[in-house]
């Protein structure tokens, strides 16, 4: 009986009603290869669906209601549970950034409406963001980059998002952060470029991280990870001599790292170069 229920064919109209989608949306998703019907009549083009396709269709409807684009919906639909959570977390980060921006816009509109502030402002006034907001954005973007770095099957669009988020995080740290925040921002930019196989910017940001650590006396795991970034960028560039020298220096500095967890994290990263 259960098998008979799963194999039951539903008309596109009934399937649409049960899934919470429109018939037009189902046709569009078929054309996009997102949600294939169980069968299509070769003469009439009539589409029918199996009842067991409803879960996928309802998931698509929910994701689209969350303003998730079709490429991301496709990735989420076919992802295993862990990766699905990571993709949803990435979208949550985007919504949080949008919420912060919308909140600032509403605040400005309230000031303009309730206090009759001028609509036209100087460039400096228009671009002012308070330190707390900048710090929150820097942290959220930094964490969002880590989420994207851990995805096994990033799309080119997610690669772009990861790269721009890393630079945006570094920019906000540059406005409100301490030198150690700047160094870590440079390190993350280097790692992103290394993952993307972009050797020149990977090395450039690695050296900026190292320079900041040396200039401001930043030690412990930060200076060790700076050398790790240099080693990784050099290895990708094919400069094995520089990579080996940087690896040796990073391993040497690992002995001075105070926390065991930080040391193990570094040594684990070095083992992947």
72 close to 87: Cβ distance less than 8 angstroms: yes
Cβ burial 74-96 (10 Å sphere, 16+ → b, else e)? bbbeebeeebeebbbebbebbee
The DSSP letter of residue 129 is -
- The predicted pLDDT at position 92 comes to 84
Q: In this predicted model, what pLDDT tens digit does every residue of 148-184 receive, in sequence order?
A: 888 877 889 899 999 999 999 999 999 999 999 999 9
190 close to 205: Cβ distance less than 8 angstroms: yes
3-class DSSP state of 128: coil
Indicate if the alpha-carbon torsion angle 181, 183, 251, 268 is positive or negative: positive
The three state secondary structure string of 96-122 is: HHHHHHHHHHHHHHHHHHHCCCCCCCC
Instruction: Using pLDDT thresholds of 50, 70 and 90, give the confidence band for residue 3.
Output: very low
**Matching residue, tokens 């650590």:** 213
Q: Which domains are seen in the chain, by residue range? A: 2-76 (1.10.1660.10), 80-167 (no CATH), 178-273 (1.25.40)
Q: Is the pLDDT of residue 118 over 60?
A: no
CA dist 241 to 107, 127, 248, Å?
55, 46, 11
């Amino acid at each position: 009986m259960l098998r008979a229920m799963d194999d039951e064919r539903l008309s596109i109209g009934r399937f649409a009603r049960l899934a919470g989608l429109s018939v037009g949306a189902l046709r569009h998703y078929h054309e996009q290869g997102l949600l294939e019907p169980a069968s299509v009549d070769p003469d009439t083009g009539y589409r029918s669906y199996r009842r067991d396709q409803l879960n996928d269709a309802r998931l698509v409807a929910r994701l689209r209601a969350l303003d998730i684009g079709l490429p991301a919906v496709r990735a989420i639909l076919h992802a295993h549970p862990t990766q699905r959570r990571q993709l949803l977390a990435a979208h949550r980060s985007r919504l949080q950034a949008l919420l912060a921006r919308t909140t600032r816009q509403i605040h400005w509109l309230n000031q303009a409406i309730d206090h009759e502030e001028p609509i036209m402002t100087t460039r400096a006034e228009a671009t002012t963001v308070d330190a707390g907001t900048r710090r929150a954005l820097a942290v959220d973007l930094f964490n969002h980059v880590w989420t994207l770095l851990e995805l096994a099957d990033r799309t080119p669009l997610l690669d772009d998002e990861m790269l721009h988020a890393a630079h945006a995080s570094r920019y906000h740290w540059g406005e409100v952060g301490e030198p150690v925040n700047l160094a870590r921002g440079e390190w993350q930019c280097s790692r992103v470029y290394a993952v993307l196989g972009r050797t020149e910017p990977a090395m450039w940001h690695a050296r900026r991280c190292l320079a900041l650590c040396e200039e401001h006396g930043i030690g412990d795991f930060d200076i060790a990870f700076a050398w790790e970034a240099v080693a990784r960028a050099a290895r990708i560039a094919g400069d094995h001599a520089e990579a080996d020298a940087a690896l040796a220096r990073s391993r040497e500095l690992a002995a001075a790292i105070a926390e065991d967890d930080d040391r193990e994290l570094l040594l684990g990263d070095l083992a992947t170069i």
